[in-house]
Homo-oligomer: A and B are copies of this chain.
Amino acid sequence: MAHQQYQELLETLHECMEECNHCFDACLKEDDVKMMAECIRLDRECADICSYLEQAISRNSPYVSELASVCAKICEDCGNECKKHDHDHCQKCADACFKCAEACKKVA
């Protein structure tokens, strides 16, 4: 992976992890938590795999491509779920997830 592509991907993953965790926290504080259950579940899945991939990339793991492929799928699913909800934190999270899914596909 070229150095610039690597730096951009790390930043994109970091932003996605942040938005997913912020969305996770905010969903748990909403009035209708039940409606957000799938969002809460996928926010955790997505934050965890983004965080994992950040570490894998920065330690020069031989498995970046395989992990990025899984990450792209999880980001896409999480983005699609968040997109359904009008909350600001969900919409911002969806944007970060779709951007991250695209970036992951390029190295997958």
Binding site for B on A (CB under 8 A): 10, 14, 17-18, 21-22, 24-25, 28-29, 31-34, 36-38, 40-41, 44-45, 47-49, 51-52, 54-56, 58-63, 66-67, 69-70, 73-74, 77
Contacts and interface: CB of A to CB of B under 8 A. Distances in A.
Q: Is the interface of A mostly helix, strand, loop or mixed?
A: helix
A55 B21 contact: yes
A32 B32 CA distance: 10
Contact of A33 (B34, B44, B69, B73): B34
B29 A32 contact: no
Contact of A28 (B29, B41, B56): B41
A46 to B, nearest CB: 10
A56 to B, nearest CB: 8
A87 to B, nearest CB: 15
24 contacts: A10-B14, A17-B55, A17-B58, A21-B55, A21-B58, A24-B59, A25-B41, A25-B60, A28-B37, A28-B40, A31-B34, A33-B36, A33-B37, A45-B56, A45-B62, A45-B63, A47-B59, A48-B52, A49-B63, A51-B51, A51-B55, A62-B77, A63-B74, A66-B73
